[in-house]
Structure 1
Amino acid sequence: MASLSLSLRPGDARDAGAVEAVMAAAFDPQWGEAWTRSQLLGVMALPGIQLILAEMGQEPAGFALVRSVMDEAELLLLGVVPDHRRSGVASALVERVMHDCAAAGVVTLHLEVRANNPAVHFYTRHGFAKCGERRNYYKGADGRHYDAHTYQRAIG
């Protein structure tokens, strides 16, 4: 069997189904992090939104959703299908986001993540530094509250 290569491409509202499929596979329902189709399409209609899809062959492997305003951007969502984790998909998406942000004149990229999310280690390895905290921001399915940490990274 031939190995599949990773490809990245810009996406739009027509790719909402693929994004939903990745979110369903990638985001643990305990945390309520997956967006509804309505939320996704509502955000995608805003100015400054960029969707990047990662595909292995013809199958969605991950995505990144970014919003840029002036010289700042926020990584709103990043998801990778579990079968493709630790294979470079997330890194390729973040590198593409940073490249595209730099090309658009963005100087700072922000993100927010639940404090106990294992992705914190991924983001710090990619140059993001913690810059803020929102106490008890997230509520898990178990009823417990979790802090949100904000991170930023200089672009360029």
Structure 2
Amino acid sequence: MAETHAAAFAEARPWSEAEFAALLAQPHCHAIGDARSFALIRVIADEAELLTIATRPDARRQGLARARMEAWQARARATGADRAFLEVAADNVAALALYKTCGFAVEGRRKGYYPRAGSAAVDAIVMARALT
């Protein structure tokens, strides 16, 4: 997962193997996917959160991210969630488009949340949708 994340997020600090291991050790975290593309979610009570989703650059434009979006939302529903949340960098146009087509709507903004090397930090867009 750390390798895929690093390849997918070359402009940001990727998550380490230790960070993934710590998250996956938590009882409410679930990983969906494979080495080409994965989603990592947390489901607590009736809420699900997409922690990260990543697709290797050489596997993009094959529908993998959309498949992971559908799969993690199905897993969240199956474990009792009726609402889903995620956040995305405001400059990640492709992800914003994907999330909107998956039914997510903007709920808020975190100013200057994502640092960028050599430029100003980018806002985080908080998005949500009902899973019922």
Report the TM range for the smaller structure's normalisation.
over 0.9
Q: CA–CA distance in 2 between the matches of 1:100 and 1:51?
A: 10
Task: State whether structure 2 residue 79 is matched by structure 1 residue 104.
Answer: yes
Find the counterpart in structure 2 of residue 38 from structure 1. Answer: 18
In 1: Cα distance, 2:115 partner to 2:3 partner: 23
d(CA) in 2 for partners of 1:145, 1:25: 21
Contact 2:6-2:15 within 8 A present in 1 as well: no
TM-score of the pair, normalised by structure 2: 0.93
Q: Residue 75 in 1 paired to residue 75 in 2? A: no
- Following superposition, the deviation at residue 45 of structure 1 comes to 1.4
| Residues in 1 aligned to 2:110 and 2:57: alpha-carbon distance in whole angstroms | 28
Structure 2, gaps ≥5 residues long = none
Identity %, equivalent residues: 36
The answer for the alignment partner of 2:129 in structure 1 is: 153
SS at match of 1:31: coil
SS at match of 1:144: strand
Q: Does 1:23 align with 2:5?
A: yes
Q: Deviations over 1:63-114 (max 9, x none)?
A: 1000011000100010011122111101111111111111111001100111
Q: Over aligned residues, Cα RMSD in angstroms?
A: 1.1
2 CA distance for matches of 1:51 and 1:31? 21
The ranges of structure 1 where at least 4 consecutive aligned residues each deviate by more than 4 angstroms after the TM superposition are none
Aligned-partner SS, 1:138: strand
Question: With structure 1 as the length reference, what TM-score do the two structures score?
Answer: 0.80
**What is the number of residues matched between the two proteins?**
131
Residue of 112, 123, 133 corresponding to 2:99: 123
Distance 1:126 1:42 in 2: 28
